[in-house]
Amino acid sequence: MDNTNFDLFRLSEDHEIIREAVRAVARDKIAPYAADVDEQGRYPREANDALVASDFHAPHVPEEYGGAGADALATCIVIEEVARVCASSSLVPAVNKLGSMPLLLAASDEVKAKYLPPLAKGEGGFSYGLSEREAGSDTASMKCRAVADGDDWILNGHKAWITNAGVSEYYTVLAVTDPDGKRGSNVSAFVVEKSDPGFSFGAPERKLGIKGSPTRELHFDNVRIPGDRMVGKPGEGLKIALRTLDHTRITIGAQAVGIAQGALDEAVAYVKEREQFGKTIGEFQGVQFMLADMAMAVETARQMVYVAAAKSERGDDDVTFYGAAAKCHASDVAMKVTTDAVQLLGGAGYTRDFPAERMMRDAKITQIYEGTNQVQRLVMARQLLR
């Protein structure tokens, strides 16, 4: 795991321009609605529209399909800056990448040409259907089935915990296509369209955080999928799914960094104004030490995410380790930093009048989705021991 390419630690001018641009969009058009989105548990339509208008809703889509062609690091910067003010809104670009990454990795030219241009135009988001109620970390035990019927496939079963379900127009869905085949090599991937007959959604989950991003089940009742909508070859689905996660876990790391940075921003602003014992609480050494530790943790997490993103862009062999490490470390940092931010705001931090409590609730999911942090540690250990 040689990491001696020092260019990784210098952002290009283009990356800095992207950061400035998305930060302005986040500040002016996303942050004002963040509290209401959380309070009402509603989809962040204002953020979605602002991201589409500025071409930040799916920046990873290649230029040949009408996209911005942003590299992995630029995409992480977009997600980080949006998450800094609203974690729910940052799932627009994050999930669009997650849902469409299997196509970029393995789909035919025809499938890419059909689905990536509308994604790039903002005409339809992309979600990802892998998990089931009884097949979370153990993805190979999924029960969703697709049975061949001529050139088509008939899909039955369900998927659970699907981000932006019901909002997205397109879904990359994994299903067992060879029940008697070797475990892990009997799953295939398909694109399912929201309008497909027999495809429906469960009720929205009632969640601790990211309340603006709908999380629902996908239900398939004899859904007919044309054979040309398969992503990759039959039996390659799980391999494609795991390769996808190698790249997209890094975006969850970026989301976690953004949430943590937002909480640190709130804490710094508060302690500079709040007075006790005749001076601002930011003048107390105990508070200063907390802030220093928080800032140090955020910056180490950011650097890990950026290194992993650079490795993702290059397709390095060790991206599996670095993707898991970046996601795991950054999400642990986000949980710790947001908790400390609430502590520094004291009673105010425990109220909805300040965003710190929302950030703390939002941070928790980053330790869970796209593979729990316990699974990330297993992934890293296996990479070290192989």
Task: State pLDDT tens for residues 165-218.
Answer: 999 999 999 999 999 999 989 999 999 999 999 999 999 999 999 999 999 999
pLDDT band at 6 (very low <50, low <70, confident <90, very high): very low
Say what the pTM is. 0.96
Checking if the pLDDT of 290 tops 80, the result is: yes
3-state secondary structure of 224: strand
What is the rounded CA–CA span in Å between residue 169 and residue 358?
A: 28
How far is CA 372 from its chain centroid?
13
Mean pLDDT calculated for residue range 280-289: 98
pLDDT tens-place string over residues 296-354: 999 999 999 999 999 999 999 999 999 999 999 999 999 999 999 999 999 999 999 99
The token duo for 380 is: 């890293």
Q: Which of 127, 206, 207, 196 is nearest to 167 (CA)?
A: 127
Checking if the pLDDT of 1 tops 50, the result is: no
Checking if the pLDDT of 33 tops 80, the result is: yes
pLDDT band at 270 (very low <50, low <70, confident <90, very high): very high
pLDDT, residue 183, reads 93
Question: Residues 43-64, buried b or exposed e (16+ Cβ, 10 A)?
Answer: bbebbbebbbebbbbbbbbeee
Checking if the pLDDT of 9 tops 70, the result is: no
For residue 145, the cross-strand partners are 156, 176
Q: Which of 249, 365, 382 is nearest to 304 (CA)?
A: 249
For tokens 């990448």, the residue is 97
pLDDT tens-place string over residues 107-163: 999 999 999 999 999 999 999 999 999 998 999 999 999 999 999 999 999 999 999
What is the rounded CA–CA span in Å between residue 97 and residue 116?
A: 11
Measured over the CA atoms of residue 224, residue 57, residue 73 and residue 357, the dihedral's sign is: negative
Checking if the pLDDT of 8 tops 70, the result is: no
pLDDT, residue 3, reads 46
pLDDT, residue 10, reads 76
pLDDT, residue 70, reads 98
Q: Which of 224, 285, 255, 284 is nearest to 88 (CA)?
A: 255
pLDDT, residue 182, reads 95
Catalytically active residues, by annotation: 370
Checking if the pLDDT of 4 tops 90, the result is: no
pLDDT tens-place string over residues 60-94: 999 999 999 999 999 999 999 999 999 999 999 99
Return the number of other C-beta atoms located less than 10 Å from residue 212's C-beta. 26
What is the rounded CA–CA span in Å between residue 187 and residue 260?
A: 37
Taking CA atoms, 257 is separated from 85, 238, 311, 337, 356, in Å, by 12, 28, 18, 10, 14
Domains (range + CATH), the chain: 6-124 (1.10.540.10), 127-237 (2.40.110.10), 238-385 (1.20.140.10)
Pairing of the two strands 215-226 and 152-163: antiparallel
pLDDT, residue 2, reads 47
Taking CA atoms, 169 is separated from 47, 195, 284, in Å, by 18, 8, 52
pLDDT band at 7 (very low <50, low <70, confident <90, very high): low
Quote the mean pLDDT of the chain. 96
Measured over the CA atoms of residue 157, residue 160, residue 162 and residue 165, the dihedral's sign is: positive
What is the rounded CA–CA span in Å between residue 330 and residue 353?
A: 26
Q: What angle is formed at CA 195 by the lines to CA 192 and CA 197, rounded to 5 degrees? A: 85
